[in-house]
Structure 1
């Protein structure tokens, strides 16, 4: 009987982890860099045997039988190569405002889509809803209609306007603000800057969410306030890790899973292979991501890059679409698309001159390549600060770039001792008890196995006066005031007593005289 019980237990545990789940993934953002991360996670869920319905702008060309696409691509344009280089507070205000504007537009595209509407009418039964947590909450309304427990997913760090729903404290003195620099050691000006910008972004998100609520009511009918649905998100899978971004004060239902999108590298081929292998002094890779038009870079920055190419012994690989630029083909390889992973993994790649995008930073850390971070927009200033503070690289601002400063910065990260520090950091990055992808899948399946657990951080339900201890402060003040009043009364009674005694003494002396 003992052995039968053991066998039964083993099979029960195995069966528990092999249950096929019906999952809907709601990914309304039309940014390819985000979907690159999310796609790896979704594919692993497929590989584990789960059935997926994926609502996104990026339908699969040949999906497997357990993958059902609900495409939003016909009604949108991929958010890519669309922004101009500028650095200013005005740009920040416009970018953050437009980010939420794009969120409202994504909301309209999502909810008005005929395939989505048909899906709603079918009333499918889902065990789990995976909802992107970025610049729109309309996916939460859709998940509510499906009556499924929600797992949030983020292809970057937590956006500033989402902190409160997860009970994450924000303090400008040590918590980076995603859209500006300063890292975890901000100056007085940067702390002031963060406090103002944090208030601004939360303010505009509040009104953006109210407008989205109207769209949700239009297409989905009666749905609770989106922020109340958001507070019931079971878990958030956030794409960061303390080795790169430093320690954070996260509650238990926020799980760090950064790094799972990095695939095994393949061998470079063709002309690129010949170019790299012919580099006696190694290569430096340059890429500023998919969002910024490289043609919009200021002339002084382009000139500084070209000067560095000619002044340094290394060869350069530059992701740039302007092939008309006259450059020495023996020193620089130019293409509008490059196999970034394969380049970073190559033993002759010595450094990465990057815009500070999170995906690129994770890939460079994975393959132990130092970064020169040149932040342009979005979360890149915060990422660049993390890159520098962690020791993965150094950062250089646009206004600092000259022929001399760029060469000096590149030489700094090419120093053997600097590269050795990056190697040690990379070893720590890889040293995990469970891989990032297995962590993400485990906790996703955990929610499906235990949907009725209380995952919610208590702080999200605490009134603001309790959170800031205003009621306790009032009690302290009341105690102090009571003490002061009692002291005044005691002193007054003491004086009265002495006055009466003095009068009696005076009267007694008068009678004696």
Structure 2
């Protein structure tokens, strides 16, 4: 029997339905939910029965657990990470690059297949849909990497706000704003906004690769559900692009300049805040570092362990440093771990980054961690692992605020040299401090801006006046191909008409001349 578990108490504000994503995406969605709860709103959160991060019991949201709906779990991420690390470190045959690409496409397909099953379970359950409809929500808040929130918003006829960096297609801007690939780098291309000819060729290749994956693997799954459950028919692309407000988790201190749209609201760093006092044990450790200071290392919410030989190399590099190190790591304890290194299962990352003793942040390049480092002005040594991490770190490196060490070249010597360079070369810290000042110099705090626009949509039942009509156009109209073809045809017909008239006149003249002769 379908069971819907609701916790918490109702508030006097609006009613918001949230369909989140797992991992670091949930970490920043959770911050928004807490802030909305503080404003007096009642929040219901959809979760799968095996949800990795979204807890069933909470004091500030009501959980709606969907039985028999499986979501992304720890094993799913660990398997993908293991394949990527083996490939990057050259432990696989060169032909494995093709296999790796197929595995990534297959894993992505399976992830969206799970979400489509979640949608099906909800839509096929009269009890679930009746309960959701009776709640009479005012707003859908969702992360569009998964399509479940988009489907529910359309089914329940709710205005929709995205907490977004990525969508089912790729980087969110490409769905809603003009995105010339001549100077806007595609995620995974390794390009910046300054590209030579060959880099632009590579960028175009990655664009079509992204479009191919979406069009032939992700879109058909969602479109099949659109055709099944929605009448009159609607395209999934139209639903995806039809959100009222896009709360984009970047700003232009971090992102390369590019065209945007009036319903994109930039809230980069909204999760950042001034540092609070550390627990006594951590504060004592920090103060014990003397003039050398402390290095912080964390590889984010998804990464719990690395290959043993890699952790041994990292631990050896740390042991050679005069600085102390706090390393968030839950794997096997390295045998080469030095007395200067403290392993922890969890750490108050924001508070540590804001501590005056912190010198460098060693990170995987997730958006949350990079933005916290930027907020506090701490230079970064980046070890990218997957997804957008290399691209995030590249944005810092291009601005002189970080240095990338790839998994392929990572050992005790390269890591030690990178840390020493970032600590001893003042330009890294100065560049990051400059970026930090720019990032903080705003008329409205990003979290306050996010709250305003969510409540704006609730007050006005949407924000249609900010949405462009472009998402309703077919591609040939969007790019004016039909206009170009029509104009070409008109010019061609006129040219042909003039040619025929001239030819006719010439023939006539020649005919009269013969008769005269």
Query: What is the TM-score when the length of structure 1 is the normalising length?
Result: 0.82
Stretch deviating more after TM superposition (410-419 or 261-270)? 261-270
User: When the two structures are aligned, how many residues end up with a matched partner?
Assistant: 481
**Residue number among 232, 236, 248 corresponding to 1:238 in the alignment:** 248
TM-superposed CA distance for 1:443, in Å, is 0.9
**1:52 equivalent in alignment to 2:43:** yes
Mapped contact 1:111–1:117 kept (Cα < 8 A): no
Mapped contact 1:178–1:380 kept (Cα < 8 A): no
C-alpha distance in 2 between matches for 1:232 and 1:266:
40
Deviations 1:120-166 (A, max 9, x none): 213221111112210x3132222223221111222x34564475984
TM-superposed CA distance for 1:440, in Å, is 0.8
Mapped contact 2:312–2:335 kept (Cα < 8 A): no
Mapped contact 2:18–2:142 kept (Cα < 8 A): yes
C-alpha distance in 2 between matches for 1:218 and 1:160:
21
The alignment partner of 2:420 has SS state of helix
**Residue number among 16, 20, 32 corresponding to 2:13 in the alignment:** 20
Partner of 1:131: 142
**1:32 equivalent in alignment to 2:23:** yes
Mapped contact 1:165–1:231 kept (Cα < 8 A): no
TM-superposed CA distance for 1:193, in Å, is 4.0
TM-superposed CA distance for 1:235, in Å, is 1.4
Superposed, 1:19-168 pairs within 5 Å as 20-27=13-20, 29=21, 31-56=22-47, 57=51, 58-59=54-55, 61-64=57-60, 67-72=61-66, 76=70, 79-80=73-74, 82=78, 83-84=81-82, 85=85, 86-87=87-88, 88=97, 90-109=99-118, 111-112=120-121, 118-122=127-131, 123-124=133-134, 125-134=136-145, 136-154=146-164, 156-157=165-166, 160-161=169-170, 166-168=175-177
C-alpha distance in 1 between matches for 2:233 and 2:472:
20
Pair 503,77 (structure 1): closer, same or farther in 2 beyond 3 Å:
closer
TM-superposed CA distance for 1:302, in Å, is 4.1
Pair 478,208 (structure 1): closer, same or farther in 2 beyond 3 Å:
closer
Pair 186,380 (structure 1): closer, same or farther in 2 beyond 3 Å:
farther
TM-superposed CA distance for 1:337, in Å, is 2.3
Stretch deviating more after TM superposition (106-115 or 230-239)? 106-115
TM-superposed CA distance for 1:432, in Å, is 0.9
C-alpha distance in 2 between matches for 1:92 and 1:116:
36
Deviations 1:257-284 (A, max 9, x none): 1211224433233443332211121122
Mapped contact 2:379–2:432 kept (Cα < 8 A): yes
C-alpha distance in 1 between matches for 2:166 and 2:349:
22
Deviations 1:481-508 (A, max 9, x none): 3564466457657866886798799x6x
C-alpha distance in 1 between matches for 2:267 and 2:446:
5
Mapped contact 2:118–2:148 kept (Cα < 8 A): no
Pair 395,72 (structure 1): closer, same or farther in 2 beyond 3 Å:
farther
C-alpha distance in 2 between matches for 1:178 and 1:61:
36
Partner of 1:5: none
Partner of 2:359: 350
Mapped contact 1:138–1:212 kept (Cα < 8 A): no
**Residue number among 379, 389, 404 corresponding to 2:388 in the alignment:** 379
Which structure has more RCO (C-alpha within 8 Å, separation ≥ 6)? 1
C-alpha distance in 2 between matches for 1:501 and 1:114:
81
Partner of 1:7: none
TM-superposed CA distance for 1:73, in Å, is 8.6
Pair 400,55 (structure 1): closer, same or farther in 2 beyond 3 Å:
same
Pair 502,205 (structure 1): closer, same or farther in 2 beyond 3 Å:
closer
Deviations 1:288-317 (A, max 9, x none): 2232353227x3x54553443244322222
RMSD of the TM alignment (CA)?
3.4
User: Which blocks of at least 5 consecutive residues in structure 1 are unaligned?
Assistant: 1-17, 508-513
Mapped contact 1:173–1:191 kept (Cα < 8 A): yes
**1:420 equivalent in alignment to 2:416:** no
TM-superposed CA distance for 1:70, in Å, is 0.9
Higher CA-based Rg: 1
Query: What is the TM-score when the length of structure 2 is the normalising length?
Result: 0.82
TM-superposed CA distance for 1:236, in Å, is 1.5
The alignment partner of 1:295 has SS state of coil
The alignment partner of 2:254 has SS state of helix
Partner of 1:510: none
Deviations 1:390-434 (A, max 9, x none): 333122322233544333322332222320121111011011111
C-alpha distance in 1 between matches for 2:254 and 2:173:
23
The alignment partner of 1:290 has SS state of coil
C-alpha distance in 2 between matches for 1:23 and 1:35:
16
Deviations 1:194-219 (A, max 9, x none): 43343333334344343245557778
